[in-house]
Each structure stands twice: as structure tokens, then as C-alpha cells.
Amino acid sequence: MISALNRLVDFVEAHLTEDFDVNGLARTVGTTEYHLRRMFSSLAGMPLSEYVRRRRMTVAAADVVRGEDDLLSIAVRHGYGSTEAFGRAFRAVHGTGPGDVRRDGGPLRTQPQLRFRLTVEGSIPMDTRIVDRPAFRLVGHAARVPLIHHGINPYIQQHITGLPQEAHLRLKTLSNTEPGGLLQVSDDVDPDGTEGSELTYLHGVAVSRDTATPCR
């Protein structure tokens, strides 16, 4: 799959100024377009469409700065029918318009060409055990948050930091069974793991089944 993703990146780079057939490429590497896009999104931390948009605007910015062609010619070359549509797409990536960049030289936000490599982790063994636990309850503070494939989920982080300090202390006092301590629990996760789909995140503790005190 790493090889297939790198072929996809090379394919995108060779067709930045035109439409391209991801489905056809997926078939040549023995997979489906859905699976190829899903793996790209999972490992790159962004959808393929977003990566293509950033790469196109990175190359377009170089054309704008070079100043050899008028803005309409550059817009058409990169698949836009007007300078207005091109300007909106350009500003969405770079935060400023192409005219301003041509005049001032920046600021610009570039997207480097991706390259996927295989990194093996987990070579250090871990002592684990599987045990049967009697039924217990989870109590805490729950929120619906988007699924983020890469890095720290800022929505979960915001949910936790938004709780008052006394809420954390109260949760700790409610914990009266294993697993002990504050728990981070995810539920209702999309089986396909689609980027941006919602899940339920609970910041809470485990309590015995007969515990009557709710966490408010």
C-alpha cells in the first residue's frame, strides 16, 4: 500500500493542471478508489482532494510570482474559468490574493510533495494480560466530536480543558472500581473510520453497577 500511495502522489504531480482518474490508477495497483483515498487520508492527515488543492495552489503561486503570464492565463492553466474563481481558491490556501502576491511576493503557504515511508514501531515487547471484569458503569462528561486521523484531536482536547478543575476532582472521587483513574473512552465510531465522522468521547471514570451518584 505504501508503494500505491507513492504512485498516487506521483500521478497527482504529473496531472496537477488537469483532471485525472483516481479510479483507473487504483485498479492498476489492485485496489479500489475508495480504499486508496481512505488510506491516503488516514496517513496524510488530510483528504486527497485537499492535498491536490494545496499542491495546485503551490505551483500556481510560483507562476504568479514569476510574472511571465497574466493572471487569467495562469487561472485557466490550473483549471479555473475566471480570475475570480482562481482568486478565491488562491486566497483560501495562501490567505491573500494572487494580485497581492504578484506585487509583494507573499506571504505564501506552500504544500511540499508528500512521500510515504514505512516506519516500524513497537519492537519493544509489552507485558499484557486479558482478564474478565464484572460489569461496571461509566460516568463522566461526554461530547460528540469529529474523528481526526492524524495528531492530537483538538476537539477532544477542547472538551477536556473546558471542564472546570472541580469536575476533574469530583470524577476522581467517584472512581470506585477497576479500571481505576480517569478514563478516555470513545464510542459510536464509524466502522469505516471516515475522517470527520462523529464519535462520542467520554472523559470519565468506572464505577460499580450499584453506584447511584451521577456525574453532573
- pLDDT grade for 214, boundaries at 50, 70 and 90: low
**Do 97 and 168 fall into the same domain?**
no
- Domain check: are 90 and 145 in the same one? no
CA–CA separation, 77 vs 192, rounded Å? 36
Task: Say whether both 16 and 99 belong to one domain.
Answer: yes
Distance CA 78, CA 16 (A): 7
Band the pLDDT of 101: cuts 50, 70, 90. Answer: confident
Identify whether the C-beta of residue 78 lies closer than 8 Å to the C-beta of residue 56: yes
Q: What torsion, rounded to 10 degrees, do the Cα atoms 172, 189, 147, 3 define?
A: 130
Report, as an integer, the average pLDDT of 28-43: 87
Establish if 113 belongs to a structural domain: no
So what's the pLDDT on residue 57?
86
pLDDT at residue 195 tops 80: no
pLDDT score for 213: 59
Q: What pLDDT is recorded for position 95?
A: 85
Q: Is residue 10 one of the residues assigned to a domain?
A: yes
Averaged pLDDT of the chain: 83
Residue 128 lies in a domain: no
One domain for residues 93 and 180: no
Is residue 11 domain-shared with residue 65, that is, in the same domain?
Answer: yes
Q: Which domain holds residue 192?
A: 136-208
Residue 137 to residues 140, 174, 178, 184, Cα–Cα distance (Å): 10, 11, 10, 14
Percentage of residues in the chain having pLDDT higher than 90: 3
Backbone angles phi, psi at 9, to 5 degrees: -60, -45
Q: Does residue 212 carry a pLDDT above 80?
A: no
Q: How many domains does the chain have?
A: 2
Would you give the end-to-end CA distance of the chain in angstroms? Answer: 46
pLDDT digits (tens, 9 = 90+) for 162-175: 888 888 788 888 88
- The confidence band for 123, taking pLDDT boundaries of 50, 70 and 90, is low
User: Tell me, what CATH number does 14's domain have?
Assistant: 1.10.10.60
Angle at 101 between CA 96 and CA 104, to 5 degrees: 120
Asked if residue 25 belongs to a domain, the reply is: yes
Mean pLDDT, range 85-112, rounded to an integer: 84
pLDDT on residue 193: 66
pLDDT the model gives residue 192: 65
* 117 within a domain of the structure (yes/no): no
Coil vs helix vs strand at 120: coil
CA distance 169 to 206: 14
**C-alpha separations of 131 from 50, 61, 179, 180 in Å:** 44, 58, 11, 15
pLDDT at residue number 17 = 78
Assess if residue 120 is contained within a domain. Answer: no
Residues 199/186, Cβ–Cβ less than 8 Å: yes
User: 30: pLDDT confidence band, cut at 50, 70 and 90?
Assistant: confident
Choose the final residue of a domain: 59, 85, 104: 104
